[in-house]
A and B are shown apart, each in its own frame.
Chain A
Amino acid sequence: MPLLLVRHAHAHARRDWSGDDRLRPLSSNGVKQAEGLIATARKFTPVTRVLSSPYTRCVQAVQPLAATLGLGVEEVPELEEGQSSAAVRLVRALAGKDVAICTHGDVIVEVLVTLADEDRVDLGPNPRQAKGSVWVLDGSDGSFSSAQYLPPVLVETV
């Protein structure tokens, strides 16, 4: 089963937020991207765990998905901004599991480039990672064989 690596959805700009950056919430577009993630994730796996960086913008990005599945969002420090090898280890440990993982752009780069280097995963000609997008990673036993990019989808909340 593939693992879903989600980049947090669109958040309010840093300059418009006076509080702790970790608590910066999603923008209205980001909220729509988080809703869109539900349908995207359903196409792939019966997600059984949802892990996220503890930052609000990450948790909020997978909250609607987790709620639909009757799951809680597990906040893990390995997925915080600035993490690299710890995040790669965590993702490897979850290879082949039905999980959605939400983290930051810099962490996603580290994970993807490591998989391209070490597992020879093909990222395609112009790899992207827009906010709210998903990388579908196929693998098992700690290593990965393929990766597919899914752009974010905006869904209006009812």
Chain B
Amino acid sequence: MLGLLLQAVDRANQGLVVCDEVGTVVVCNAPARELMNARDGDLLAEKAIEAALGRALSGAEHEEMLDLYSPTRHTLEIRAFPLGTGQPPAGAVALVDDVSELRRLEAVRRDFVANLSHELKTPLGALSLLAETLDGEEDPEVVGRLTSRLGAEARRFSRIVDDLLDLSRIEAGGTGTLSPVPLSAVIAEAVDGFHDQGTTRGIRLDVGQVDDSILVMANRRDLCSAVANLVDNAIKYSEPGAAVHVSTSVSESRACIRVRDEGIGIPRREQERIFERFYRVDRARSRWTGGTGLGLAIVRHVAAYHGGEVSVESVEGEGSSFTLCIPLGRPEPADG
């Protein structure tokens, strides 16, 4: 019975340490042993757990957060309770949780909310200022200009809201199930509409041939919008006269869609961060291109729920190349 119980607590995620009335450790489960196994910074964890047990033995519950910086940065939550009903207690138990990931997620969420408030407040503030400027304005030329600015800020606001709704839907696992979709159709649909836009800006859109028989497991709408997002970015960050190349490659299990531009490129230190929500390399440029700061976050989440990933290679001054890879699909068996 006791043997089974000891094996069971070894399976817990939480570190558990029990000591007797004089503080001798009598049970220490596997996660706790890992923590107590004194390597560099973990010595601190061991000391903190012992101290917590000591406090509990004096009859008081104890709770603390311990920040460790070595070997990696993490945060432990240590709680200790006296055991038994007598005084002094018959023993004590310490429960140890690694709350680093929880802490990190909380920080990400706080940042997101702070960023989001700012991103929404800016176009709203612009609307408020523009409305006041319009008030009493009699010059039709000025009224026309201000009205068009009002429209632009309202559209920007709704783009942010649309992207946020898309992002939260996709983060929740996307809509519908994945089914085999021809890769050629995804590419054709994604680049449709950009030919004109590219031409307007003097940018040539070069789309490679895709074998019609290649299928990918996809939610067609989301995958198309992810690829379209990459093409849109490539065009926005290209100078007139440059080309944007869309190509595909297929391996045994995956298909990769590559969107390459000859634009300004992305500094190496920023390449990891560009997939974060509201992260922008160049805020001034983003302002002019009308980006919401959510496009690449959407692409990353689409890739993830398709069981794939998106990556970037870029050299400043030479261009960027985004590659979106997802698993291949097999033809659905014909009915009957």
Contacts and interface: CB of A to CB of B under 8 A. Distances in A.
Contact of A105 (B121, B122, B133, B287): B133
B330 interface: no
A127 B142 contact: no
Given A117-B283, A122-B118, A123-B121, A112 B138 contact: no
Given A21-B139, A106-B145, A128-B132, A112 B125 contact: yes
Given A117-B122, A118-B284, A123-B121, A112 B129 contact: yes
Interface string B141-160: 01001100100010000000
B139 A113 contact: no
B138 A113 contact: no
Interface band, chain B = 20 to 34
B126 interface: yes
B128 A113 contact: no
A14 B138 contact: yes
Nearest to B134: A105
B133 A109 contact: yes
A117 B287 contact: yes
Contacts of A113: 122, 125-126, 129, 153
A124 B133 CA distance: 17
Interface band, chain A = 20 to 34
A69 interface: no
A13 B138 contact: yes
B125 A106 contact: no
Nearest to A118: B283
Interface in A104-122: 105-106, 108-109, 112-114, 116-118, 120, 122
A33 B165 CA distance: 46
B126 A109 contact: yes
Contacts of B133: 105-106, 108-109, 129
B122 A109 contact: no
Interface of A: 13-15, 21, 81-82, 105-106, 108-109, 112-114, 116-118, 120, 122-130
Interface of B: 118, 121-122, 125-126, 128-130, 132-133, 136-139, 142, 145-146, 149, 153, 283-284, 286-287
The 5 A-B residue pairs with the shortest CB-CB distance in the complex, in nearest-first order = A105-B133, A14-B138, A118-B283, A116-B122, A127-B125
27 contacts: A13-B136, A105-B129, A105-B132, A105-B137, A106-B133, A106-B145, A106-B146, A109-B126, A109-B129, A109-B130, A112-B129, A113-B126, A113-B153, A116-B122, A117-B284, A118-B283, A118-B284, A118-B287, A120-B118, A122-B118, A123-B121, A124-B125, A125-B121, A127-B128, A128-B129, A129-B129, A130-B132
